[in-house]
Homo-oligomer: A and B are copies of this chain.
Amino acid sequence: MGLLSTLTLLNPLSAFAQDGAAMTAEQSDPIKLGWMVGAPPPDDKIIRFTDPDYFSFPKLRWTVCHFRELMPTVNVSRGIGDPVPFAAKVDPAIDALTFTPLGGDGTMTWAESLDANFTDGIVVLHDGVVVYEKYSGCLTELGQHGAMSVTKSITGLLGEMLVAEGMIDETAEVASLVPELADSAFGDATVKQVLEMTTNLDYSEDYSDPNADVWTYGAAGNPLPKPADYTGPRTYFEYLQTVRKAGEHGGAFGYKTINTDALGWIIARVTGKSVAQLLQDRIWSQMGAAQDGYYTVDSIGTPFAGGGLNASLTDLARIGQLMLGNGAINGKQLVPEAAIARIRAGGDVDAFAKAGYDLLPGWSYRGMWWITNNAHGAYMARGVHGQSIYVDPEAKMVIARFASNPQAGNAANDPTTLPAYEAVGEYLLGQ
């Protein structure tokens, strides 16, 4: 088990195994706890990449803002021109909006929901104007925060962009694009199946099982030197080649990170650019970003397409605004409208239902975005510990949130997140 403690490293999903916290958001505030303060910090306030709990609560509340201080990363440049700030007209009424948590019978206010979800930063845009913006925990407007699996939706956006532009045929089998994957489970999957995660992979993300595949995956992506007796895969790409099928593709949605890294490989092979470089060239340096973003990387510099993006809060919101604008932001069409239309059209609801998400009835998954199929046609990017982009086309609303919820799975925060987002959407629709 010695290696396992360092295997959690690059796979942010690793904290799934951990128990809920007894500490509140205020009690676990990373600034109040004094992590990494001092020259040197006191021994019990130091967080190292090699700590088995570096990404467990409460340390994770510091780590989510400081991934680059623990591991190698690759930059996503905003360019060197002027940022394009959002206009702002803060609406003080939002804090008092109320909603009923899923499965509950009381009510909660928007303001109360923020600490309930260990929010580190949240911004609400209405028709491109900031109506709400708040930072807490480790985050400031100058900081960057791990987007976790929100990264998947951005990789998916790049994929749908290339499909819409004719650079990738979504009906093509993966083996025809990345021959190295021919003998793997991905070989005879179509790009569309990868984009919708309806591949059927013999791959477990059960973190309570020390033999689960996710540990091998974490070891492969870990940029630290491997032990002398290590014989497993040493990169994301090497790992992906080892994945086997569990049955026919196309039948059911199965949310597995490795689909996104397979898509990242496809994108890199087709364009000659890593997802980090392509994101920079096509979107980040064109969208008026306030800050550079960055990806964590493996030992050969491959960006973690499934979960490695870090960004500022307003830049996360810019991605949401780009989606709301059907691929355009600040008057520039950066992504074909058809790509966004494909995502908004949603995926196979029946296939999604088979995955058993009790809190997400009637949802689907398309282009690595989560489609609510609610009355507003809202859709989301979702990452562990509460990261989210929520796009409500009907209300012309975008919500971007970074968080450090002790619980990794979004089932822990959805009850006080989804109805809260919908309540603000309803409110803004009436403005």
Contact = CB atoms under 8 A, between A and B. Distances in A.
Q: How large is the interface on A (under 10, 10 to 19, 20 to 34, 35 or more residues)?
A: 35 or more
Given A142-B77, A291-B80, A39 B269 contact: yes
Contacts of A85: 80
B300 A237 contact: no
A198 interface: no
Interface in A34-53: 36, 39-41, 46, 48-50
B73 A68 contact: yes
Contacts of A291: 77, 80, 292
Contacts of A40: 235, 237, 300, 302
A50 B225 contact: yes
Interface in A67-89: 68-75, 77, 79-83, 85
29 contacts: A36-B301, A39-B265, A39-B274, A40-B235, A40-B302, A41-B300, A46-B300, A48-B300, A49-B223, A66-B301, A68-B68, A68-B74, A69-B72, A69-B73, A69-B74, A73-B73, A75-B144, A77-B142, A80-B83, A80-B142, A80-B290, A80-B312, A80-B314, A81-B83, A82-B83, A224-B224, A224-B225, A225-B225, A291-B292
Interface of A: 6, 36, 39-41, 46, 48-50, 66, 68-75, 77, 79-83, 85, 141-142, 144, 223-225, 235, 237, 265, 268-269, 274, 285, 290-292, 294, 297, 299-302, 312, 314
